[in-house]
Amino acid sequence: MRHDAPIVVHRPSSTGGRRVTAHGQILGLANSDADVIEFLRRAGVAAPEEVLDDEAWVEWRGARAHGWGHDTR
């Protein structure tokens, strides 16, 4: 697990969704990979769909990567 990736998808919140940050700045609350991709696109990441599984770019915290439902652990 990396701790220096510029993008972090945080643990699921109790109300649903996962906060997404880039360099410590909040990009939004994602409820799907599509949301993360859109946040990254808006932040200027080229080909954001290609970085979701790249540990140099994205760190998934507190639950499995791409986990959005109740089975995120």
The pLDDT value recorded for residue 70 is 56
pTM over 0.85? The answer is: yes
SS3 of the chain: CCCCCCEEEEEECCCCCEEEEECCEEEEEECCHHHHHHHHHHCCCCCHHHCCCCCCCEEECCCCCCCCCCCCC
Residues 7-64: pLDDT tens digits?
Answer: 999 999 988 899 999 999 999 999 999 999 999 999 999 999 999 999 999 999 999 9
- Rounded average pLDDT over 65-72: 75
Task: List the chain domain ranges.
Answer: 7-60
